[in-house]
Amino acid sequence: MTVIIRPLLDEQLDQAYYLHQCATFQPWSFSTFSDCCSSPYSCLAAVKNNRVIGYAIMLHVAGEVTLMDIAVAEEQRGHGVGKQLLNAVIDASVSLNAEEIWLEVRAGNHGAIALYRGADFNDIDIRRDYYPSAKGREDAIMMSKRLD
């Protein structure tokens, strides 16, 4: 079945939040996640068989988009869903006339880093000990992509 990328519907919020909880060591509260799916944020969903299998949350402010969070269901990883979501984020950012997209990624998330670099994101800086993890703290790599 085909994966469809579209804005997250209110009735799908619980499904997306479940993915967030599964994909994040220290997940946001439901209210924070829910707030990040309404203006000035926007949330895209990857839907397959009427089930949310991935999502991406963006914040558009002053000509820049920040990719706040992106996740794909574990059993769906490696099938191009993350790439589809990232491409949809890039397309949405262009439609918003954004000049740049910013994100932070765990230094140990090699799959995501490869995805971002493959989409022409550049490493900007490292935030030391930024993310909590099971082993203590983990660095964040700050990345950006110019939209020319």
Number of domains in the chain: 1
Catalytic residue numbers, as ranges: 104, 116
| Tens-place pLDDT, residues 41-99 | 999 999 999 999 999 999 999 899 999 999 999 999 999 999 999 999 999 999 999 99
| Tens-place pLDDT, residues 85-116 | 999 999 999 999 999 999 999 999 999 999 99
CATH number at residue 88: 3.40.630.30
Q: Which residue has the tokens 């994101």?
A: 121
Q: In angstroms, rounded to a whole number, what is the distance separating the alpha carbons of residues 29 and 58?
A: 17
| pLDDT attached to residue 77 | 92
Contact predicate 89/62, CB 8 Å: no
Q: In angstroms, rounded to a whole number, what is the distance separating the alpha carbons of residues 131 and 34?
A: 21
Q: Residue 90: give the domain boundaries.
A: 4-146
pLDDT-derived band at 133 (thresholds 50, 70, 90) equals confident
138 φ, ψ to 5°?
Answer: -135, 145
For residue 145 the two structure tokens come to: 């992509």
pLDDT at 1 over 80: no
Q: Which residue has the tokens 């799916």?
A: 37
For residue 69 the two structure tokens come to: 């969070």
Q: Which residue has the tokens 């820049």?
A: 64
